[in-house]
Amino acid sequence: MSSPEIRPAAAADLPFITEIYEHAVRYGTATFELIPPDLAEMTRRFAVLTDGGFPYLVASLEGRVIGYAYAGAYRPRPAYRFTVENSVYLQPAIHRRGIGRQLLQELIAECEARGYRQMIAVIGDSANAGSIGVHTKCGFQMIGTHPDVGFKFGRWLDTVLMQHDLGTGATTAP
Ligand SMILES: CC(C)(COP(=O)(O)OP(=O)(O)OC[C@H]1O[C@@H](n2cnc3c(N)ncnc32)[C@H](O)[C@@H]1OP(=O)(O)O)[C@@H](O)C(=O)NCCC(=O)NCCS
């Protein structure tokens, strides 16, 4: 397989992104959404993030989007403004080929360039070895587990929190 291009997402990528996320909602436990959002809702979410100045990236191969990653506000209260939460999703057929890592590394760089200081991953399902693995490989520290906070596909699900310093982290004022 040739290398994918990692680039900022555009509105024309949203049908691909919607399809990738739909699969994750319907069949996966990484997201706690139960009903896949449609293209209009994904477009609305994309606009909120990009209007807010957050990075939204895609991995594209031969003109087709095969994965995406974005950062958004961790929490709305203003003292959290230097902390972002990240998301990364790939088409199932191309897992474990280093593309998740490429997307996440580029997302970290984009957030550092924008002056953010902490990135938090809220990983659905403590059995999500792929997500825990890619975050570990990108230098995230394990913070801990919230046990049994979700219920999907007839079972209770944990969330796993991981965190990465961005730029100078907490060693300097923003
Ligand atoms: C999580 C996800 C983005 C990872 O992307 P990926 O391209 O498959 O991962 P990579 O190939 O970049 O893997 C990087 C490293 O992570 C670890 N890793 C990845 N998948 C793993 C798995 N299934 N089990 C254990 N470790 C894994 C490995 O250390 C790997 O490095 P290596 O292949 O050199 O050993 C992808 O699996 C995915 O889209 N999963 C479904 C959605 C999801 O869980 N998203 C995260 C939401 S928080």
**Residue 1 pLDDT > 90:** no
**Residue 25 pLDDT > 90:** yes
**Residue 44 pLDDT > 80:** yes
Ligand 1 site-directed mutation target among 16, 95, 107, most atoms within 8 Å of CB:
95
- pTM score: 0.98
Ligand 1 close to Cβ of residue 54 (< 6 A): no
Q: Could you report the per-residue pLDDT of 123-142, keeping only the tens digit for each?
A: 999 999 999 999 999 999 99
- Per the listing, tokens 């792929």 go with 130
pLDDT at residue 84, as a whole number: 98
Q: Give the ligand 1 atom nearest the CA of 134.
A: 16
